[in-house]
Amino acid sequence: MLEEKSAPLGILNVPNGDFAGVFAAQFSEWMKPAGARCLISGMAGSRQGWAEAAYVKCPAGPDELARHLLWIEPGRIALVPGLSDGQGPDGQQGVPDVMRGEEVQIFGAMRLSGLRDGLFVLPGTHSKWATVRGGRVMGFRTHMTGEVYGLLSRHSILARTLEADAPLDEAMFVKGVAQSREGQGLLHEAFGVRALALFGRLGPAPSASYLSGLLIGEELRHEKPGSDVILIGAPALLARYGLALKQYGARVRTFGAEATWAGLHALRGDR
């Protein structure tokens, strides 16, 4: 990697939907060299993005994604399709699941780790749990863990006694994970955050970590992680999921932004 830049320009923050203009303003210098090529993954390829890149059905690997790139400018700028799971041949069987961007991170982590099989977990607003075999994503499941934390901590009755952005309290987080493992159900355990506060047993700052532990613990309780897990994401979330997975006896290997760059290189054939 030669250079990196960032900007608060998610798909809903592109002025007047001018994706081409934003791209030119951000990356025109990078695109000047002859043969420069840009692959764009994530929500830019969604229905609300620059253009809709159709989902590729699982099982799928880098080769399938590469064959379905949506070229904005042929040979120069392309959108990477996402993955879909849970659909039958007619597209209607079962409840479908989708991802955009995480598939690139998975293929990048595979490339960096040398693994072609395993469980890959991507924490976030919508956490993904993907099963990989033979270098292909066989299937995955999404949990709205991060989004539900935001809703409960800022817009529910819990917000009155909870400091949503408090630093991680590891002990209280682990306690929340352990409590969720008892299997009483999230709807019951979440109300316990308020009850504990009412009886002076949980302050506003530790309440945030306890609730986070409950939610992530609920996710793990349903997924039943095995002995080895590949975690991909931002450092703060990797730390929380690492703590939670440790309670389940899982060995964890982590990757950050480098997984994205490696995954995009895998799609363009630099293997």
In this predicted model, what pLDDT tens digit does every residue of 248-271 receive, in sequence order? 999 999 999 999 999 999 987 654
196 belongs to a structural domain: yes
Joined tokens for residue 45? 């390829």
Nearest 10 degrees: Cα torsion 106, 107, 109, 111: 170
Residue 222 falls inside a structural domain: yes
Position 55 in a domain: no
Burial category of 265 from C-beta neighbours within 10 Å (exposed 0-12, middle 13-18, buried 19 and up):
middle
Cβ contact 224:236 at 8 Å: no
Boundaries of domain holding 152: 145-254
Q: Is 239 inside any structural domain? A: yes
User: Helix, strand, or coil here: 66?
Assistant: helix
Rounded to two decimals, what is the model's pTM? Answer: 0.93
Cis amide linkage into residue 62, ω under 30° from 0: no
Q: Which element (helix H / strand E) includes 143?
A: strand 136-143
8-state DSSP, 238: H
Tokens of 145: 């863990």
Residue 171 in any domain: the answer is: yes
- Over residues 225-249, the pLDDT tens digits come to 988 999 999 999 999 999 999 999 9
Using pLDDT thresholds of 50, 70 and 90, give the confidence band for residue 183: confident
Distance CA 114, CA 180 (A): 34
pLDDT of residue 87: 62
Stretch 61-77: mean pLDDT: 95
Residue 12 lies in a domain: no
The CATH number of residue 168's host domain is: 3.30.420.310
Indicate whether 109 belongs to any domain: no
Residue 157, in any domain of the structure: yes
- For the chain, what is the domain count? 1
